[in-house]
A and B are shown apart, each in its own frame.
Chain A
C-alpha cells in the first residue's frame, strides 16, 4: 500500500529556511493533491498547504508569504520550504494524501509518521 516518509533536518536556526521532503512509495504522486500539516508540541493540527501533481498550489494565508511547495514526479516526492523560521515554527511536520484522487482534498487517510523540526539557535 501507499506509504509516505518525511525527511529533512531536525534543527533549523531562526531566520533560516526549513526544507522537508515527502517520499511516496507504493503509489504515484500523479493525480493527487499532496498536503503538509504541522502540530506544535501539545497543540492542535494546522494545515500548511497543498500541491497538486501538476504543480498548482494552495497555502494557508497565515503562512503564505513564507511557504513554497513543489512536486518532483521523476523522484515520486513532494516538498515544502518555510522561510525565515521562528521558534513558533517548532512542530511535528506531517505529509498526507487525501482519500480521493483528482478532487477536492477534504479528508486524509494516508499520513507520514511525522518529523519533529525544532527552531533554535
Chain B
C-alpha cells in the first residue's frame, strides 16, 4: 500500500501570501497518477491538479503542482480568502488502488 504523508498538518498564512504544501509517498508514484483536491467545509472535494502538474478545468493559474517519484508539491500563489480550506493529495496504484493523504489545513493567520 502506498502511504501519502502530507505536511504541514496546518499552515497559517495571510491573504496575498504564497502557500507550499507537500505530499510524500512511501514508494514511487507515477506522476500521471498523482492528484490534488481542495475541500471546503460541508462540500465535496474539488479536483485542482491531476497528473502531478495539470490544472483541472476552471482552476486558476494561481494553483500549480510539481514533483515526481515520492515528492510532490502543490503551490498556491497570491492567496484569496476562498483558498483557505483543506487540501488532499491522492494517488492511484496497486492495492488499494486509490489512497489519500491525511490532508493539510490552510487557515487564515
The interface of chain A, by Cβ under 8 A from chain B, is: 35, 44-47, 50, 58, 60-62, 94, 96, 99, 104-109, 111-114
Interface centre among B32, B44, B51, B97 (most CB of A within 10 A): B44
- Assess whether A94 is in contact with B44, with CB atoms less than 8 Å apart: yes
Interface residues of B (CB under 8 A from A): 32-33, 35, 43-47, 50-51, 56-57, 88, 90, 92, 95-103
Sample 5 A-B pairs with CB under 8 A, ordered by A number. A45-B45, A46-B100, A107-B51, A108-B35, A113-B43
User: SS class of chain A's interface: helix, strand, loop or mixed?
Assistant: loop
Q: CB distance B100 to A108 under 8 Å?
A: no
Q: How far is the CA of A46 from the CA of B100 in the complex (A)?
A: 7
Instruction: Find out whether the CB atom of A47 lies under 8 angstroms from the CB atom of B100.
Output: yes
CB of B96 within 8 A of CB of A104, answer no
Neighbouring B residues of A113 by C-beta, 8 Å: 43-44
Judge whether A44 and B103 touch: CB under 8 Å. yes
Q: How near does chain A come to B29, taking the closest CB pair, in angstroms? A: 10
Residues of B within 8 A of A112 (CB): 44
Distance (Å) between the CB of A102 and the closest chain B CB? Answer: 15
Check if A107 sits within 8 Å of B50, measured CB to CB.
Answer: yes
Given the known interface contacts A44-B88, A44-B102, A45-B88, the answer about A109 and B47 at a Cβ–Cβ threshold of 8 Å is yes
How far, in whole Å, are A62 and B103 apart by their CA atoms in the complex?
Answer: 20
Contact B44 A99 (CB under 8 A): no
The chain A residue sitting closest to B96, CB to CB, is A60
Task: Tell me if B47 and A104 are in contact (CB < 8 A).
Answer: no
Contact at B102–A108, with CB atoms within 8 Å?
Answer: no
Question: Min CB distance, A3 to chain B, in Å?
Answer: 12
Cβ-neighbour of A106 out of B35, B88, B96, B102 (below 8 A): B35
- Alpha-carbon distance between A107 and B98 when the two chains are bound, in angstroms: 9
Given contacts A44-B103, A107-B50, contact A61 B92 (CB under 8 A): no
Inside 8 A of A58's CB, which chain B residues have their CB? 97
Bound together, the chains give a CA A46 to CA B102 distance in angstroms of 10
Please list the 3 inter-chain residue pairs (A to B) with the smallest Cβ-Cβ separation, ordered nearest first. Answer: A107-B50, A111-B44, A47-B98
